[in-house]
Amino acid sequence: MNALSRNPLIRFGRWLATPAIPESYLELIDPLLGAGPRGRIEQVIRESSNAVSLVISPNDAWQGALAGQYVRLGVDIEGVRHWRCYSVSSGDARRGQRFSVTVRALDGGHVSRWINERARPGMVLMLDQAAGEFTLPQDGQSQGGLPKLLFITAGSGITPAMGMMRSLASANREADLVHLHYTPDDASNLFAEERLGLALAHGWNSQNLFTRAAAKSGAIQGHFSAKRLEALCPDWRERTAYVCGPEALMDSVSAHWQQAELGDQLRQENFRPALKRDANARGGEVRFWNSERAAEASGDKPLLEVAEQAGLLPKHGCRMGICQGCLVTLKEGQVRDLTTGEVFGETGDMVRICVCAAAGNVTLEL
């Protein structure tokens, strides 16, 4: 039961207003009073030419977030609600407390571009409760203080790490932190000044590594490598490491930690699903009922990709099985959940097509 539901006035109003609910009327006065978690954009901060931070005031139904978690935002664009996940870039936020997310405009990213170009203070967004385990050990979990930390980030993968650094700073938690941030060039180096200030104030070792442009003299250039890690952070084996960034970085870092048999010391924020792809899994013909199209699909290919290659534009959000933004009704056949390997399906089931593949012939209401 959320805070609004517990309110005796609302409960009385609900009885009085039946069959409508009082939240429906309140919503007309203030959209934040509607049912469920919502937030009003208080401020839009331009961080770079293609990234903005949204400072959001949530209603009391939103239960708060730990730095490093992500929040699903529901954005209404031309009458259609789109859900997307974004990392919290502010520090921890308690119930009803302001927080921020930072959104980089992606090539072809309908929602991220809209947010960058059109989001304005006063707009109301739908929210989901924060989720994710890419967080710092909380006070009660870390006897003897925090472990030594290493953040490895690239591009917009900086956002959850930025949240954690802001959280450490605002709580005045002592931390031995090394941060290696890979960025194409100066112009896209998010939060550069603030990170430098935090590093100076708290004695952190914060390094920017430029992957594309010839940066200022003295700046380090190049991509992640074992040799560079050894040079910049010789005690990396003793640190709890957090990595967030594009696939290539995640793969290199993960392989390096696995090779050193230190996989349990590495926390990863994946902006992609961990799919169990089995090239031998049986696929079949996928029929798209509403659009009267069909395509052959292997048993390890997400149905969203099959549909896109068939020329359809299904609604979707995270593409990683979290947001439910791609749910499609199954008319016939069975599908394989690529996150678990489970084969399931009865007529009428809702299927997350971004993480499910055909398991034999299948028909979708699409």
Please identify, using beta-carbon distances, which residue of 322 and 335 lies nearer to ligand FES: 322
Output 41 or 355, the one with its CB closest to ligand FES.
Answer: 355
Closer Cβ to ligand FES, 267 or 315, answer by number = 315
Q: How many CB atoms lie within 10 A of CB 247?
A: 10
Beta carbons of 267 and 260 less than 8 angstroms apart? no
* Contact characters 337-356, ligand FES, x per CB under 6 A: ---------------x-x--
**What kind and span of H or E run contains 40?**
strand 38-48
Residue 94 C-beta-side C-alpha neighbours within 13 Å: 0
Distant-in-sequence, close-in-space partners of 363: CB < 8 Å, separation ≥ 6: 286, 287, 288, 289, 330, 331, 332, 333
Report whether the peptide linkage leading into residue 147 is cis, meaning its omega lies within 30 degrees of zero. no
Residue 72 Cβ, how far from ligand FES at the closest point, in Å?
A: 9
CB of 90 to ligand FES, least distance (A): 24
- Taking the complex as a whole, the smallest distance from the CB of residue 47 to ligand FES amounts, in Å, to 25
* 326 forms part of the interface with ligand FES (CB under 6 A): yes
Phi, psi at residue 251, to the nearest 5°?
Answer: -65, -45
**Burial class of residue 180 in the structure, from the number of CB atoms within 10 Å of its CB (0-12 exposed, 13-18 middle, 19+ buried):** buried
Q: Mapping DSSP to helix (H, G, I), strand (E, B) and coil, where does residue 250 land? A: helix
Which span (111-119, 263-271, 293-301, 322-330) binds ligand FES, by CB under 6 A?
A: 322-330
Q: Least distance in Å: CB of 319 to ligand FES? A: 5
> 88-118: buried (b, 16+ CB within 10 Å) or exposed (e) per residue?
bbbbbbeeeeebbbbbbbeeeebbbbbbbee
Q: For the window 281-320, what string marks contact with ligand FES as x by the rule CB under 6 A? A: -----------------------------------xxxx-
Provide the minimum distance between the beta carbon of 144 and ligand FES in the complex, in angstroms, as a whole number: 39
Separation between Cα atoms, residue 100 and residue 103, nearest integer Å: 10
- Cβ-based burial of 45 (10 A; exposed 0-12, middle 13-18, buried ≥19): exposed
Residue nearer to ligand FES on the CB measure, 162 or 351 = 351
- How many other CB atoms sit within 10 Å of the CB of residue 139? 11
Using an 8 Å Cβ cutoff, are 162 and 86 in contact?
no
Three-state DSSP state, 314: coil
Q: Applying CB under 6 A, does 211 fall inside the site for ligand FES?
A: no
Nearer of residues 239 and 316 to ligand FES, judged by Cβ: 316
CB 60 within 8 A of CB 102: no
Count of residues of this chain found to bind ligand FES when the rule CB under 6 A is applied: 12
Nearest distance, CB of residue 315 and ligand FES, angstroms:
8
Residue 34 or 325 with smaller CB distance to ligand FES: 325
Considering only 22, 132, 321, 333, the residue that binds ligand FES (CB under 6 A) is 321
- Any residues with CB less than 8 A from the CB of 339 and at least 6 apart, and which? 273, 274, 275, 276, 321, 355
Closest CB 272 distance from ligand FES, rounded Å:
12
CA atoms in the 13 A half-sphere facing the CB of 327: 9
**Closer CB to ligand FES, 54 or 323, in the complex:** 323
Residue 10 CB partners (closer than 8 Å, separation 6+): 4, 22, 23
- Whichever of 136 and 306 has its CB closer to ligand FES, that residue is 306
Is 73 a binding residue for ligand FES by CB under 6 A? The answer is no
Shortest separation between residue 215's beta carbon and ligand FES, angstroms = 36
CB of 324 to ligand FES, least distance (A): 5
Q: Which is nearer to ligand FES, 245 or 321 (CB)?
A: 321
Closest distance of CB 354 from ligand FES, Å:
3
Q: Which residue in 322, 328, 330, 366 binds ligand FES (CB under 6 A)? A: 322
For ligand FES, the binding residues (CB under 6 A) are 316-319, 321-326, 352, 354
